[in-house]
A = this chain, B = another copy of it.
Amino acid sequence: MSDQTTTASAVGSAALLDLIRRHGLRTRAELIAATGLGRSTVGARLELLQEQGLIRDGSNATSTGGRPAARFEFNAEARVILAADVGASHARVAITDLDARPLAVRHSELDIALGPEKVIAWVCEKGLEMLAEVGRGHDQLAGVGIGLPGPVEHETGRPTSPPIMPGWHGADVPGLVAETFPVPVLVDNDVNIMALGEHATTWPQVQHLMFVKVATGIGSGIISDGALNRGAQGAAGDLGHIRVTSATDAVCRCGNTGCLEAIASGPAVAAQLRSSGLDVAGTEDVVARVRGGDAAAAAAVRQAGRDLGDVLAGCVSLLNPSVIVVGGLLAEAGETLLAGVREAVYARSLPLATQHLSIVHSTTGVDAAVIGAGVLVAQHVLSPQALDVAG
Chain A residues near B (Cβ < 8 Å): 1-5, 7-9, 11-12, 14-16, 18-19, 22-23, 34-38, 41, 151, 160-161, 207-208, 220, 222, 224-227, 229-239, 241-245, 247, 254, 256, 258, 310-311, 313-315, 317-322, 348-353, 355-356, 379, 384
Contacts and interface: CB of A to CB of B under 8 A. Distances in A.
How many copies of this protein are present in the complex?
A: 2
A236 B353 CA distance: 8
B254 A231 contact: no
Nearest to A12: B36
A18 B2 CA distance: 8
A231 B321 contact: yes
12 contacts: A2-B226, A4-B15, A5-B18, A9-B19, A12-B36, A36-B41, A161-B350, A230-B320, A233-B356, A235-B352, A237-B318, A238-B317
Given A317-B241, A350-B235, A8 B18 contact: yes
Given A34-B9, A241-B350, A318-B237, A225 B222 contact: no
A142 to B, nearest CB: 16
Contacts of A7: 3-4, 7-8, 11, 15
Contacts of A151: 350, 352
A232 B356 contact: yes
Contact of A19 (B5, B233, B245, B315): B5
A285 B355 CA distance: 39
A352 B320 contact: no
B23 A11 contact: no
A12 to B, nearest CB: 7
Nearest to A323: B232
A36 B34 contact: no
B320 A243 contact: no
Given A235-B353, A239-B317, 8 more contacts: A3-B7, A9-B19, A229-B229, A230-B320, A232-B322, A235-B320, A245-B258, A314-B314
